[in-house]
Amino acid sequence: MRESLQTGNKHTKTGPSRYVPADSPYWEADDNVVLSAEHLTLHVRNRDGSASPAVEDVSFNVRRGEILGIVGESGCGKSLTVMAIMGLLKPDVKPTGGKIIFDGRDLLALTGKEREAINGRDLSIIYQEPMTSLNPLMKIGKQLGEAVSLHEKVSKEEIRKRTLDLLTEVGIQDAEACMKAYPHQLSGGMRQRVMIAMATICKPQILLADEPTTALDVTTQAHVLDLLKRINREYGTTILFISHDLGVINRICDRVIVMYAGRICEAGTTRAILQDPRHEYTRGLIRSIPTRDRKGEDLPCIPGRVPPVEEKKDPCPFAPRCGRAMDICRTSAPSVRGCGGGHIVYCHLYPVKGKGEKKGGIA
């Protein structure tokens, strides 16, 4: 296992340096960056003991106060990236390269104790299915208070008051009754609101949301998205929002990163990505969604399938499904190209610009 991980690591290291290096002036100049991933690479152990890259050379910046979306299909590595940030990777997933910088520290190198101090206070996470994250045997009020008592020294009365206020804040009408309820007595939307309350009770700097509305009905989803947006605007909480649904991304995110098979394809403002996508994958993804004016015609879907993690991929993982793939796509990984306005794309179809484009070098 260890050997294979190391070979995997070497593989990425010998590859061409494709990003703005972390020590470039760009990084120091922008003090708005609250969290940044630099060349993050994660390997997953396969059944036969070998390791395959599930996230490869992923670099991005999260700016203070923004809602940054990561969109992609299953297996693209979006959830793994978030789990790496939270330090919640399963034992068979190992970070084999790169860094995640938060608050001047590399999150991948933290000890257990240091991690405990950060999780829940500075970084918080909400998941897709609230029922599995809530303790079914504990009343909501107690579960919520737990987070506060772990990170801060406050009286029981104070905790109770804060919990009540917060539950009202997240839109629960009878907060008093909700405090005394068990998770199973609440509806899906209510549970997700409770989860959001729990995740924000310590006023974290960054809230990671991993498909928080996928399990909810569309009408409930609209409410939860509104709530997240309000939390972002009112408290200035930075949100890293994971979703597979471009519609949801459009509703909530300021900027988007599109991932495919462990790599970033394209990143930019939500408007730029959805109105003027550059990467063939993003284009195909947008085209394949059934909408009002597509009734009665064939959906122009992307041929082929998402490659499984353990499969060996081309340097540009999308090449086998790409209608405009060239020979170079199968021999060398595309470097980053700026399209202006912070819109970047990893694709050989676009010209690499001069050094003036440095700022576009990273999502």
Give the interface with other proteins as residue ranges (CB under 8 A). 73-74, 188, 217-223, 225, 244-251, 274, 284-286, 288-292, 294-295, 298-299, 301-303, 305-306, 308
Nearer to other proteins, 71 or 344 (CB): 71
DSSP structure class, residue 119: B
At 257, phi and psi to the nearest 5?
Answer: -115, 130
Distance in Å, CB of 299 to other proteins, minimum: 4
Q: Which is nearer to other proteins, 257 or 336 (CB)?
A: 257
Report in angstroms how near the CB of residue 153 gets to other proteins at its nearest.
39
First to last CA, the chain: 32
CB of 300 to other proteins, least distance (A): 8
| DSSP one-letter string for 47-88 | TTS-EEEEEEEEEEEEETT-EEEEE--TTSSHHHHHHHHHT-
Which residue number, 15 or 320, has a Cβ lying nearer to other proteins? 320
Q: In sequence order, which residues have a C-beta less than 8 Å from that of residue 70 and are 6 or more positions away?
A: 78, 81, 82, 240, 241, 242, 243, 256, 257, 259
From 80, 111, 79, select the one nearest 93 (Cα to Cα): 80
Instruction: Name the strand (E) or helix (H) holding 149.
Output: helix 140-151
Q: Which is nearer to other proteins, 205 or 213 (CB)?
A: 213
Nearer to other proteins, 165 or 174 (CB): 174
3-class state of residue 208 by DSSP: strand
Q: Report in angstroms how near the CB of residue 114 gets to other proteins at its nearest.
A: 37
Distance CA 31, CA 135 (A): 39
In the complex, least distance from residue 298 CB atom to other proteins, rounded to whole angstroms: 5
Query: Residue 290's CB: how many other CB atoms inside 10 A?
Result: 9
Compare residues 116 and 254 and give the one whose CB is closer to other proteins.
254
**Shortest Cβ distance from residue 238 to other proteins (Å)?**
21
